[in-house]
Amino acid sequence: MINSQDEKLIALLRSNARASISDLARSLDLSRSTVQSRLQKLEQSGVIQGYSVEFGDAYLSELVEAHVSIKVKQKLTTKTNIALKHISHISALYAISGEYDMIAVVEAQSLQQLSTILDDIGNLEGVERTNSSVILETKFKR
């Protein structure tokens, strides 16, 4: 279980995952060794599984993004999910209800690259069909 200090540490890391142990310790008014120990416990217990990169607006504005609905052969769902996870341009994969089984969020540097990625997804074993929608503009994001 995590305590209030752990919650504060997690909040600081969410704000800046690259903050140094010294900076975190100062912000929490704790010793460096205490923060390091808490951080290790959070990682070992699986509360923190990793750290990620958050892209800047200038970079994101240049990306081509699409939502790809995917229909999967039911007996190959696990194998297909694993293959989709290995496509680095897929930033998220959701299981959904309805005609399609999943929606993948795909990010590419260009329309040409997006086309190649869509071909790669469509050619995976277990994928019956796909339907893609290119995002033209983000009105807002929360």
> Is the per-residue pLDDT at 142 higher than 80?
no
Please give the DSSP secondary-structure letter assigned to residue 74.
Answer: G
Domains of the chain as residue ranges with CATH: 4-45 (1.10.10.10), 57-134 (3.30.70.920)
pLDDT in tens, 95-106: 999 999 999 999
Question: Higher pLDDT residue, 5 or 52?
Answer: 5
Within 10 angstroms of residue 5's Cβ, the number of other Cβ atoms is: 14
**Which of 121, 96, 124 lies closest to 106 in space, CA to CA?**
121
pLDDT in tens, 47-82: 999 988 888 888 888 999 999 999 999 999 999 999
What are 130's strand-pairing partners? 70
Please give the DSSP secondary-structure letter assigned to residue 75.
Answer: G
Beta strand 102-108 pairing with 64-72: antiparallel
